Chain A
Amino acid sequence: MKDHTIIIVRSLPEGGRKKEKFTVPLQPGATVLQGLVHIYDTVDSTLAFRYSCRYNHCGLCGISADGRPRLACKTKLETTEEVAPLANLPILRDLAVDRTRYYSRFKGMRLYPEGDAAEPLGHLVEESLHRNLMGCLECLCCVASCPSHSLSDVSFGGPYLFVKLAQLHLDSRDRTDRRAQAAEKGLARCRECKKCRCPNGIDLHGALEALNK
């Protein structure tokens, strides 16, 4: 079996980063996640990273692969040289995102349907964009690709929040003005930008448009 050398950029809790080189076997069809698990199992089990499902269901394995935000379980190991934590997100250690801290940005935004909900299990028409957006893995890759998002400035919502707001806006059971919330959270900045990317097929730009109209 061929070997593959990979650099891992480890975020240190006390601040700063450290680059480390590891050699891992390159099995056929190997993923970056498989490489990380191999390192964890055989070399260094202090390597911190998240995963749960091994393929495309949990959204916990987001990393930056050669600078591109990706799910580690869907990224080919063979063509990846450097793995780093997702940019612009709070990191606990090494590659593990502090998700609790990230979510705390949205406290009080009432991100659930409110109002005179239609009769549950009764008549309901779902727009295809809503169906698409409900598949958002919440991996936060898009957030890492947004130039306007910053850790220290919570006044700007960012693409993940806009997907959430668009889901609710498109939900006939919700009565809150989600467009107004999006506007308050800086949606105007998106108009000339559209730099965010979703590696998982979520129609991010459709979501932004739905909030903008």
Chain B
Amino acid sequence: MAEGYDVVCVGGGGAGIMAAVAAAEQGARVAVVSKEPVGYGNTRLAVGLMACSGLPGDTREAFIEDVLAGGEWLGDRRLVEALVDGAAEAAARLESFGHTFIRDSEGFLSQQAVTRAGGHSRSRTLRSSGIGIGLCQSLRAAVEKHGIGLYEDTLVSRLVKNEGRVCGIKALDLAEGREYVLGAKAVVLCTGGGGWLFYPQTSNARTATGDGYALAYEAGAELVDMEQVQAIPFAVTSPAAYRGLFCGEPALAGPYGRILNGDGDTILDGGINNMSRAAVVSRMAGEIVAGRVGPNGGLTLDLRPNLEHEDGLKARDRLREVGMFDVVLPAYGRKAYDWEEPWEVLPTVHFFMGGVRADQDGRTCVPGLFAAGEVMGGVHGGNRLGSVALTEIFVFGWRAGLAAAEYAGSSPAAEPAACLGDSGLYGRRGAIRPVTLVRRLQALLWEKAGLVRNREGLLDGLREIDAIEALAKTAGVSEKRVYNTEAADFLELGFMLTTARLVLTAALLREESRGAHLRGDFPASGGKDWQKNIILRRAEDGTVDCRMEVSRA
């Protein structure tokens, strides 16, 4: 398996596939390596809403300001400009792959066809035929069309470096239980987010274990604003099988919906659909921390007032067509699904705004290493607006793919260090199963770094992370080779511990509440003084090196 590529994209969600296609169109030899089949990840779970630029009634400036203001001025203006400037082209490219954005009844993308997603001042959001599932079918097809090398069920366990440059990946083929090194002149990290660190209180896919943050960090890249982990206000609380699953962003409340606490007091009444995710969650969190909650620890979402108004009914039908709250039907039944009965909701971890620091073309500070998609930070600042994640992954996936191909074309092939043989992963003896520690870490993160954080809790959390890390050394993996997910758990546990430490470290440093980051001990925003990015990097001695920079919003 010494075969080398010009560009290897790690992760087969939207960003990874877009980067691979871009690089392949430049004539580069490209592979996608993904621990799931290609065309999955959070992209598969998306509602398929994608913000687009250049639609009638919209302006470039309005879009840019919406994203920067929504992000509470932590975003990087250069990235946001690139996002907006590339949005229409990215949407068009998806259609050329076979994806379909839903038109009006005449077949046009008129104002009737687009919607206004949460936090946007204009209607600029396209809807997808087949939601994220349809989107991913088209993406898979694009991979086939471009003759891209596919390594599915393959987990990347390390970035391989030589003379300061990234020159390949170490991979674990889960299907066969084989470890090997794959050479690459450039690597594009497209591993998505880390919502699974908070399971079950997350909307995310099983594979969103934050691997990319840890891989980049270990390779010497910088990470920005890792404390900014978005919870989305509405997730179901029961049955346990579905706890934490997404059932809507603020738009779900319609114009007239209200939220009540466990004592039956109305805490938000009407207009929730015009609030940002962060603002709604912040209001809900206050009640939850104070313990004024319902039977399953959540609050009550009452959408009935919408049924008395025409625009309220319209909102319901549209959101239902979009498929935003499908899970409410099996979770709470028909009446709730029809908005005729209130139901219990709890915010759930949805998106990592922070991530690997990169420029508009995905370049990190490590030569040969690029990043795109949710794993990259700096676009959304402290809060992501609805439907902008898909725009982000496709715009920056494309740009990073082009830049990686160009870099590969001008850089001499670096041989990855001699093939790292079997690392003794399979059959390693140990008293604890990795999944036990994974679950312990997840519970810890929701408790100490979930909705509201404070200094004591974060310090406790960091100590507990050290303790789990020590135990991880004693975890065992069975010797079974074929699709042994204990091996994946073991490696993911390592990534999760690193990513968790980065999130908590940044959360401790930001002594204010801003965007998704709420501090019980610093409940107010720090204003302009805190319009700063927190940048983390691995120091020579293995500790976390922290610094702050004035944001470039």
Contacts and interface: CB of A to CB of B under 8 A. Distances in A.
Interface in A32-58: 33-34, 40-41, 45-46, 48, 51-58
Interface string A65-108: 00000000110000000000000000011101011100100000
Interface stretch (A120-128, A147-155, A183-191, A203-211): A120-128
Contact of A73 (B36, B45, B103, B241): B241
B238 A45 contact: no
A98 B37 CA distance: 10
A174 B330 CA distance: 37
B205 A52 contact: yes
A52 B134 contact: no
A171 B36 contact: no
Contacts of A16: none
A75 to B, nearest CB: 11
Nearest to B55: A121
B333 to A, nearest CB: 11
Contacts of A126: 100, 102-103, 107, 129
Contacts of B100: 124, 126, 130-131, 134, 171
Chain B contact-residue range equals 35 or more
Contact of B241 (A13, A27, A111, A124): A27
B480 A124 contact: no
A58 B40 contact: yes
A151 B481 CA distance: 23
Interface string B217-232: 0000000000000000
Contacts of A130: 100, 129
B512 interface: no
A123 B110 CA distance: 10
B239 A100 contact: no
Interface in B135-163: 137-138, 141-142, 144-145, 150, 152-153
A30 B144 contact: no
A60 interface: yes
Interface string B14-51: 00000000000000000000001100100011000000
Contact of B36 (A52, A121, A125): A52
Contact of A135 (B36, B101, B130): B130
B242 A54 contact: yes
B144 A93 contact: no
Contact of B153 (A100, A131, A135): A100
A136 interface: yes
Contact of B152 (A48, A100, A123, A131): A100
Interface stretch (B91-99, B401-409, B499-507): B91-99
Given A117-B96, A125-B107, A137 B133 contact: yes
B200 to A, nearest CB: 8
B45 A112 contact: no
A110 B103 CA distance: 26
B525 interface: no
Contacts of B97: 112-113
Given A41-B439, A93-B482, A126-B102, A55 B242 contact: yes
Interface string A6-40: 00000001000000000000011111011000001
A4 interface: no
A29 B138 CA distance: 34
A13 B327 contact: no
Contact of A121 (B88, B142, B145): B88
A15 B132 CA distance: 36
Nearest to B109: A121
B205 A58 contact: yes
Interface in B337-378: none
Contact of B205 (A53, A92, A100, A103): A53
B485 interface: yes
A201 to B, nearest CB: 11
Q: Which of A13, A41, A51, A58 has the most CB of B within 10 A?
A: A58
Interface in A142-198: 167-168, 171, 173-174
Given A46-B484, A93-B480, A52 B129 contact: no
Given A74-B330, A126-B103, A45 B133 contact: no
Given A52-B44, A112-B98, A134-B100, 7 more contacts: A29-B238, A29-B240, A54-B245, A100-B37, A112-B97, A131-B100, A171-B100
10 contacts: A34-B241, A51-B206, A56-B326, A57-B131, A58-B44, A92-B482, A100-B37, A100-B152, A167-B137, A171-B98
Interface of A: 13, 27-31, 33-34, 40-41, 45-46, 48, 51-60, 73-74, 92-94, 96, 98-100, 103, 110-113, 117, 120-121, 123-126, 130-131, 133-138, 167-168, 171, 173-174
Q: Which 7 pairs show the lowest CB-CB distances between chains A and B? A: A134-B130, A29-B239, A112-B141, A134-B134, A120-B92, A120-B95, A92-B483
